[in-house]
Amino acid sequence: YHDLPMSSLYPLKFKPTYQERIWGGSRMHALLNKGICQNGGCGESWELSGVEGHISEVSNGFLAGNDLQELIEIYMGDLVGDRVYEQFGTEFPLLIKFIDAMDDLSIQVHPGDDLSKKRHNAYGKTEMWYVLHADKGSMLNSGFNHPVDREKYLEYFNSGRLTELLHFEEVKDGDVFFIPAGRVHAIGKGLIIAEIQQTSDVTYRIYDYDRKDKHGNLRELHTDLALDAIDFSYKEDYKTKYKPVKNKTAEIVTCDYFCTNIVLFDQPVDKEIAHIDSFVIYICIDGACNIVWDGGSEQVQKGETVLIPASLTEYRLEPTSGETKLLEVHLP
């Protein structure tokens, strides 16, 4: 396909890959039109991934069957943006997932870029959560509930009282939490979450409620590795404040690794993205719309994720089922 005009790039959809997890549920099928894991316990749907061994494969249009990495090798900056290609080469820098927690997830922390590079030759993992659905009373953990130092942390950890130091808070649909690398965190039972993160699969499990896997073994903890990765600082409020504006694009989170906006609309919204020199990802979290560009139209429904190539600089979002809500993600 080297003879194809670059302008023939179009909004790309990918086959989700489902990950069974000990805490996984079965609600993504009903809520997000996802498939069902064969053995139940479908904890994660990886929507768009450049993680080795889990690289997403295109499901629509003439590029169907090619994987994301092959596309970056061929289209380079036309797909991801020139500056993004210069920085990351053929590695796609973000990972998009849906998570369905039927049970509490382990308490964990992700190392930052420097520590990850040194230990795992990988990127760090800064992430954010958008709560798509919360059962009444569902909680999550983000950070500590008062200032803590390494000594105090170890004292509580070693006496089995770690959870007394952690900030747990009840959440509802639409809540957002930004989790920089180093912040201790855990998703609680009853939550369905859209997660946007750096491409990294490095996770240090700190505490897992003494749970056993199906073979009766305690799950592995990474106590010592985690210690150097933890940011012990304290915040008064860990929740991200944002305000959707109808028929406009409103910012939710901007950090060194990604910008995430929310687009809430019941009328067409025109987009012009040449100035950002980055791909754009849309995650449809409510309703449905057509993405219309000079050359075609692609429908996106609730639960679908679509990648807009950087070379597709002008397009329009047209709602097809009343009020529609998209998360819009690109590189800063």
**Catalytic residue set:** 205
For residues 166 and 146, the answer to whether their CB atoms sit within 8 Å is: no
Which residues lie below 8 Å from residue 155, measured CB to CB, with a gap of 6+?
none
For residues 289 and 267, the answer to whether their CB atoms sit within 8 Å is: no
3-state class percentages of the chain: helix first, strand second, coil last, to nearest 5: 15, 40, 45
Which residues lie below 8 Å from residue 161, measured CB to CB, with a gap of 6+?
none
Helices (H) and strands (E) in the chain, counts: 7, 21
Give the DSSP per-residue string, 264-309: EESS-EEEE-GGG-S-EEEEEEESEEEEEETTEEEEEETT-EEEE-
Nearest to 309 by CA among 17, 50, 64, 68: 68
Q: Which residues share a beta bridge with 108?
A: 185, 205
Both tokens of 230, joined, read 């933890």
Nearest to 113 by CA among 9, 21, 13, 202: 202
Which residues lie below 8 Å from residue 105, measured CB to CB, with a gap of 6+?
23, 186, 187, 188
Give the DSSP per-residue string, 20-67: EEEEEES-HHHHH-----TTS-EEEEEEE--STT---BB-SSTTTT-B
Question: Distance (Å, rounded) from C-alpha 106 to C-alpha 145?
Answer: 18
